[in-house]
């Protein structure tokens, strides 16, 4: 007779819950990016940041991404060369340039985001019952509250 596997009740320890959440979110994001060929890269991070927050200079981008100014300058130069971002003089600092998405960069960000959203939608529909989809919706609200608290 096969041994019956017993399930442990979910932990109520906030640190354990935090680790489970971190692991689940990371696994989910990596799986979706891999299956949609929208792998994370430093360049995709910069494009996403510019799309969400608008034009900024290299120093601000470096600070937001927690990288050195030199590293960001190299990444930005490559994105400009690839036609994914544009630069224009910074009206607040004559020595600096503001970087923003080009039309091509905006198209890339939207294409990748749309591919990920479509795949997630397919998986939700194929994997979750209507009741589970409602639970997922409630979980999203909780994640948004946690995110908002983290920004405070």
pLDDT band at 1 (very low <50, low <70, confident <90, very high): very low
pLDDT tens string 79-136? 999 999 999 999 988 889 999 999 999 999 999 999 999 999 999 999 999 999 999 9
Residue 41: predicted pLDDT: 82
Whether 59 is in a domain gets the answer yes
Q: For residues 54 and 93, what is the distance between their CA atoms, to the nearest angstrom?
A: 17
Whether 9 is in a domain gets the answer no
Domains: count for the chain: 1
- For residue 74, give the CATH number of its domain: 1.10.10.10
Whether 122 is in a domain gets the answer yes
Contact status, residue 50 vs residue 110, Cβ threshold 8 Å: no
- What count of other Cβ atoms lies within 10 Å of the Cβ of residue 36? 18
Which residues form the domain of 52?
Answer: 40-151
Q: How high does pLDDT run on average in the chain?
A: 91
Give the dihedral of Cα atoms 144, 149, 151, 152; nearest 10 deg.
Answer: 150
Q: For residues 30 and 36, what is the distance between their CA atoms, to the nearest angstrom?
A: 10
Whether 29 is in a domain gets the answer no
State the pTM of this model.
0.76
Whether 3 is in a domain gets the answer no
Which of 10-14, 17-21, 46-50, 115-119 has the lowest average pLDDT?
A: 10-14
Whether 4 is in a domain gets the answer no
């Amino acid at each position: 007779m096969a041994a019956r596997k017993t399930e442990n009740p979910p932990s109520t320890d906030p640190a354990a819950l935090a680790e489970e959440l971190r692991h689940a979110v990371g696994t989910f994001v990596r799986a979706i990016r891999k299956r949609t060929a929208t792998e994370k890269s430093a360049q995709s991070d910069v494009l996403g940041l510019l799309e969400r927050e608008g034009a900024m200079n290299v120093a601000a981008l470096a600070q937001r991404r927690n990288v050195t100014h030199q590293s960001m300058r190299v990444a930005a130069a490559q994105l400009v060369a690839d036609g994914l971002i544009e630069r224009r003089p910074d009206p607040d600092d004559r020595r600096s340039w503001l970087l923003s998405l080009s039309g091509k960069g905006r198209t890339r960000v939207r294409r990748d985001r749309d591919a990920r959203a479509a795949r997630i939608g397919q998986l939700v529909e194929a994997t979750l019952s209507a009741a589970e989809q409602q639970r997922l919706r409630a979980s999203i609200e909780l994640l948004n509250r946690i995110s908002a608290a983290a920004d405070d």
